[in-house]
Structure formats: structure tokens, C-alpha cells
Amino acid sequence: MAGFLARWAVAFVLLAATFNPTEWNYVRWVRVNWGDQMPVAVLLGLILLVGYIIYLRATLRSIGAFGMGLVLAIAAALVWVLVDFGWINLDNPTANLWLGLVALSLVLGIGLSWSHVRRRLSGQADMDDVDE
């Protein structure tokens, strides 16, 4: 469980570092500082891109596009239930953006963790796991 939480947290930080409703994110920083800090902006952008490649490649290999859609559908259904019970309200755009970041980070965290979960449940290793 700690492994999944760490993978999910890193996915959340990756997404939130790229864009979030505060002023502390890569997209806003680049808009303001592109002219003065172009080399730093490119470097940070490439570092973020590497993180996205790692997460998206692992997620697509483990659960695929259908699995990603299914996890997003489950997250959307959960939000629907929470709204229907009156536990959350979707009137706040800032809260909605954070909710979206949590949902997307769950997709990436589950995708990166799925091979580990499947191996523990089934006892079968993926071909990529044979050398471990």
C-alpha cells in the first residue's frame, strides 16, 4: 500500500507542478518568465516531460487506454455519488480543478502500480518483471 501511495503522490506532484489553480505551477511561471528564463523553462519542461513519459508509458502498458478510461469513469461515478449525497459541491472551479488533478493522478498511480497488484493477486509475473 505504501508503494501505491508513493506512486500516486509522485503522479499528483507531477500534475500539480505542471498546472494547478495557484500561482505556483510551471505553466504560469513560463508565461511570466519565458523571455528572461527561457533556458530554465526549457530544462524544467523537459524534466516534466520525462516524468510524463515514464508515467504514461507504464500506465498504457499495464492497464491500456481502456483501463485508463475505466479508472476515470469510476472516479467520475464516485464524484457523482458524492455530489448526489450532498457531500461535495461542484460550484467552486478551484476545487473542481483540484478534484480533476486527484482523479488524473489516481489514473497514473494505478497504472504505474497495476503490474505489482496483478502479480500479488495472481502470482504471475509480467514479461517485464522476469529479471526482478
Identify whether 116 is part of a domain.
yes
| Distance separating alpha carbons of residues 8 and 111, to the nearest angstrom | 9
Report residue 127's pLDDT band, with 50, 70 and 90 as the boundaries: low
Closest CA to 83 of 99, 98, 97, 72: 99
CA distances from 98 to 12, 20, 110, 111 (A): 10, 7, 18, 20
| Distance separating alpha carbons of residues 88 and 128, to the nearest angstrom | 41
Under 8 Å CB-to-CB from 117, ≥6 apart: which residues? 4
Average pLDDT, the chain: 91
Report residue 129's pLDDT band, with 50, 70 and 90 as the boundaries: low
Identify whether 61 is part of a domain.
yes
Quote the cell numbers at residue 20.
Answer: 494547478
pLDDT digits (tens, 9 = 90+) for 66-122: 999 999 999 999 999 999 999 999 999 999 999 999 999 999 999 998 877 777 777
Is residue 119 within 8 Å of 68, Cβ to Cβ? no
Identify whether 132 is part of a domain.
no
Helix-then-strand count for the chain, H and E: 5, 0
Is residue 112 within 8 Å of 62, Cβ to Cβ? yes
Determine how many CB atoms are found less than 10 A away from the CB of residue 49.
11
Identify whether 9 is part of a domain.
yes
- Please tell me the predicted confidence (pLDDT) of residue 37: 96
Identify whether 48 is part of a domain.
yes
Is residue 12 within 8 Å of 20, Cβ to Cβ? no
Q: Is the pTM of this model over 0.75?
A: yes
Identify whether 41 is part of a domain.
yes
The sign of the dihedral angle between the CA atoms of 91, 93, 98, 102 is: positive
Domain span at residue 31 reads 2-126
Identify whether 131 is part of a domain.
no
Total number of domains in the chain: 1
